[in-house]
Amino acid sequence: MSGSLTSLQSAVDDRSAAIGVIGLGYVGLPAACMFANAGFKVNGVDLNGPRTATINAGRSPIEGDEPGLADLVSGVVASRRLRTSTAYSDLADTDVVLICVDTPVDPDHRPRFGALRSACSRLGEVLKDGALVIIESTIAPGTIESVVKPALEASSGRRAGTGFYLGHCPERVMPGKLLRNMRTMSRVCGGSSAEVADLMIALYSTFVEGDLDSADCLTAELVKTAENAYRDVGIAFANQLALICERVGGDAWRVRRLVNKVPGRDILLPGGGVGGHCIPKDSWLLAAPLGDSAEDSLLGVARRINDGMPAHVAGLVSGLLVPDRKARVAVLGFAYLENSDDTRNSPSEELIRVLSARGFDVAVHDPFVREYHGNVMDTLRDADCAVLMVAHTAYKDLDLNAAAKVMRTPALVDARGFFEPDKLKQAGFRYRLIGVGDPSEAYEVSS
Q: Which residues bind ligand NAD (CB under 6 A)?
A: 22-28, 45-48, 51, 100-103, 115, 118-119, 137-138, 171, 173-175, 277-278
**What gap in Å lies between CA 284 and CA 262, rounded to an integer?**
31
- What is the SS3 assignment for 43? strand
Catalytic residue, candidates 33, 189, 278, 385: 278
Nearest to ligand NAD of 60, 103 (CB atom): 103
CB 157, min distance to ligand NAD, A: 20
Nearest to ligand NAD of 33, 173 (CB atom): 173
Q: Report angle CA 357, 360, 361 to the nearest 5 degrees.
A: 115
| CB neighbour list of residue 211: distance below 8 Å, 6 or more residues apart | 186, 187
CB 93, min distance to ligand NAD, A: 18
Nearest to ligand NAD of 115, 377 (CB atom): 115
Nearest to ligand NAD of 95, 282 (CB atom): 282
**What gap in Å lies between CA 162 and CA 4, rounded to an integer?**
9
Nearest to ligand NAD of 182, 427 (CB atom): 182
CB 311, min distance to ligand NAD, A: 26
Burial of 396 (0-12, 13-18, 19+ CB in 10 A): exposed
CB 31, min distance to ligand NAD, A: 9
Burial of 261 (0-12, 13-18, 19+ CB in 10 A): exposed
Single-letter residue type at 439: P
CB 66, min distance to ligand NAD, A: 11
DSSP state of 61: -
H helices of 321-420, in order, are: 347-357, 376-380, 400-406
What's phi and psi for 215, nearest 5 deg? -155, 180
How many residues are given for the chain? 447
Q: Is 278 a catalytic residue?
A: yes
CB 175, min distance to ligand NAD, A: 5
Cα dihedral value 17, 22, 23, 29, nearest 10: 10
Nearest to ligand NAD of 22, 329 (CB atom): 22
Q: How far is CA 193 from CA 146, 161, 215, 310, 379, in A?
A: 17, 8, 9, 45, 58
CB 370, min distance to ligand NAD, A: 18
What's phi and psi for 97, nearest 5 deg? -125, 125
CB 174, min distance to ligand NAD, A: 5
In the complex, residue closest to ligand NAD by CB: 25
Kindly tell me the sign of the dihedral angle through the C-alpha atoms of 183, 188, 192, 193.
positive
Catalytic residue, candidates 224, 245, 281, 385: 224
Nearest to ligand NAD of 76, 380 (CB atom): 76
What's phi and psi for 19, nearest 5 deg? -115, 135
- What is the SS3 assignment for 81? coil
**What gap in Å lies between CA 72 and CA 35, rounded to an integer?**
11
Nearest to ligand NAD of 23, 167 (CB atom): 23
Q: Is 396 a catalytic residue?
A: no
**Does residue 170 contact residue 227 with C-beta atoms inside 8 Å?**
no
| CB neighbour list of residue 2: distance below 8 Å, 6 or more residues apart | 162, 195
The residues annotated with a catalytic role in the active site are 224, 278
